[in-house]
Amino acid sequence: MPTFEHAMQPAAAVGADVLVVFATGSAADADDPVAQLTPSAASTAVELGIDVAGELRAVGFDGGLGDVAHIPTRGAATAALLVVVGLGEAERVDAEVLRRAAGAAARAATKDAVVAVVAPLELVGSADGDSALPGVQALVEGLALGAYGYTEYRRKPHDVPSIARVLVLADADGKVEEAIARGKALSDATALARDLVNTPPMSKRPPMLADRIAAVARSVGLGVEVWDAKALEKGRFGGILGVGQGSSVEPRMVELTYEPKGFGGARFGKAKGGHVVLVGKGITFDSGGLSLKPSASMTTMKSDMGGAAAIVGAMSVLGALGVGTKVTGLLALAENMPGGDAIRVSDVLTHRDGTTVEVMNTDAEGRLVLADALAYGAEQAPDAMIDLATLTGAQVVALGPDISGLMGTDDALVEALEAAAKTAGEKLWHLPLPVEYREQLRSEVADLKNIGKPGQAGTLVAGLFLKEFVGDVPWAHLDIAGPAFTEEGDAFYRAKGGTGVMVRTLVQYLRDRA
Ligand code: BES
Ligand code: ZN
Ligand code: ZN
C-alpha cells in the first residue's frame, strides 16, 4: 500500500516520477470523439508549457473512462512522465468515476513509482472546505486499490502494480488531509478483506482464520472472543457445528466488539449511533459437503467467507474513523467438507434458538451457520442487525457480478444501506421477502428444511430462511455471492480475486448513524 500526502507545490516542481491529470471524453457515439482536459489539467499543461491537448489529439485519445495516455515531459517537470487519464463522458463524472479513473492511473504507473496526482476538484467536490472531501477520498481509494495485488505466494510478482508514494496535489486547504486519511483507511480495510478472501483455503481453516482475525482485531483495539467447538456446543450452536463436522478441523465463531470512545460501559449510557450487530458467513472452503459441488463450481469457493472478511475489514477501521456506533461482529467460521462424519442429507440440526432444521442439501450450508449467529445476535437486542453472505448461486444469476442483493424487514434500514452504498460507489438492489414462498421451507420432520424448490427464487427463499432467526430486530441481509470475488477483474480498481465488496458501504452506513 502506498503512502499518501497532501502537497500544494506547483506540479512542475513536485518530486515525483509520474504526474497524473484527468480529461473528460465526449459521448462514445459522437462523430468526432475528442478528449477535453479538465480545468485543473489544462492549467497544469500551461504551467508545464506542454501542448497536452495537441499531444492527445495526435494519438487519438478520446478520454474514455480509464483510458490512459503517456506523455514524456522532456524536462518541463521534475516528473519524467505525464499520464492523462480519461474520465469518460463529462456529464457522468462523480466520485465513483474518479475512483475508477484513479484505479486505472495506478495500474498505468511504473513499478514502485512516486505518483503526483492533480485532483480535479472542480468536477467532484470543490476547492473550499468540506466539499473537496468526497473527490479527494475517491481519488485516494482508486489509487490505493488500483495498486492492490495479492503477492503472498508469488516469487516474482512482476505483473502486479505497485506504487511507493502518492502526492495529492489539491489547491484546497481545510480538510484535505482528513479526506486522504479516510480514503487510506477505507482502502486498507478493503485490502484486508481482499487478503483474507485471496488466502488459500489451506491457510485459513477455521481455527487459523479465527486466530488471524483475533490478532488483527486486538491490534486495532477491538474486543475479541473466540468460541471453539466446546463453547459452541455449550451454546447450542447446532448449525455451525453441523456444517463443520465433515471437516478434520473444528469450526469457530469469532465475536468482535467495537465500543466508541466515551461509551465504554453501561454507566455511560448508549452510544450515539446505538448498537449494530454484523453477522458474516465464514465458510473457509465450500466443497458442498456430501451434496458435493461439481469441480467447476468449486474453483472460487475459498471466497465463501467473503461476508465475514468484509466485516473484519470494516471493523478494523471504526476506531480510526471515530465511528460513534457500538458494533458487534459475529463471524461464523466453518469448513464445508464431505468427511466420514459429515452431516448427512436429511439429518436434523437444532439451532441456537431451538429451531430444528432438516438438511436436504448440505451445499445450502451458509444459512445453517448464519441461523445460529443471527439468533445469538438477536439476543443482544441491537438497534439493527445486518448479515453479509456469499449465500446463493441464484444471486449471481439474478444480479450478476456487480450488484449485491439486499433484503430486509425494516424499510429505514434498507434505505440507509442503499444510501450508504450510493455514497460508497457500490451497487445494491432491493429484493423482496415474499411470505408466499415461505411454504417452500416446510419440512415433514423438522420445523424447517434448508432448501426450497430448485430454480425458484433461490435468493429470496434463502432470505426467508434467515428471517426465521432474527426475532423482531430490524434486520437486513446482503447476498454478495457474485460481487465478493471476480475471476475477470476490471481495468479500474478491482484486481482478479477477492474484491472486498461492501466494506466501504458498511463503514459508510455506520458513520452515517453517528
Ligand atoms: N457458497 C454457495 C453460494 C455461491 C455460489 C457463492 C456461487 C458464490 C458463487 C452456497 O453455499 C451454495 O452452494 N448455495 C446453493 C444453495 C442451494 C443448494 C439451495 C446454491 O446457490 O446453489
Ligand atoms: Zn454451499
Ligand atoms: Zn457456501
167-207 per-position pLDDT tens digit: 999 988 778 999 999 999 999 999 999 999 999 999 999 99
Which candidate in 165, 212, 236, 293 is catalytic? Answer: 293
Query: Does the beta carbon of 460 lie inside 6 Å of ligand 1?
Result: no
Reply yes or no on whether the pLDDT at 126 is more than 80.
Answer: no
The pLDDT score that the predictor gives to residue 128 is 63
CA–centroid distance, residue 293 to ligand 1 (Å): 9
The set of residues, in sequence order, having a beta carbon less than 8 Å from that of 103 and lying 6+ positions away, is 66, 142, 143, 145, 146, 491, 492, 493, 494
Q: Is the pTM of this model over 0.85?
A: yes
Residue bearing the CA closest to ligand 1, atom 6? 481
The set of residues, in sequence order, having a beta carbon less than 8 Å from that of 98 and lying 6+ positions away, is 22, 87, 120, 123, 124, 135, 138, 139, 142
Which of 293, 392, 499 for mutating ligand 1's site (highest number of atoms within 8 Å of CB)? Answer: 392
Reply yes or no on whether the pLDDT at 432 is more than 70.
Answer: yes
The set of residues, in sequence order, having a beta carbon less than 8 Å from that of 377 and lying 6+ positions away, is 277, 279, 328, 330, 385, 470, 473
CA–centroid distance, residue 240 to ligand 3 (Å): 13
Is-catalytic flag, 494? no
Which of 291, 391, 441, 479 for mutating ligand 1's site (highest number of atoms within 8 Å of CB)? Answer: 391
Is-catalytic flag, 184? no
Reply yes or no on whether the pLDDT at 421 is more than 90.
Answer: yes
The pLDDT score that the predictor gives to residue 268 is 59
C-alpha cell at 336: 464445508
**Measured distance CA(394)–CA(27) in Å, rounded:** 35
Query: Does the beta carbon of 396 lie inside 6 Å of ligand 1?
Result: yes
57-101 per-position pLDDT tens digit: 999 999 999 999 999 999 999 999 999 999 999 888 999 999 999
Residue bearing the CA closest to ligand 1, atom 3? 392
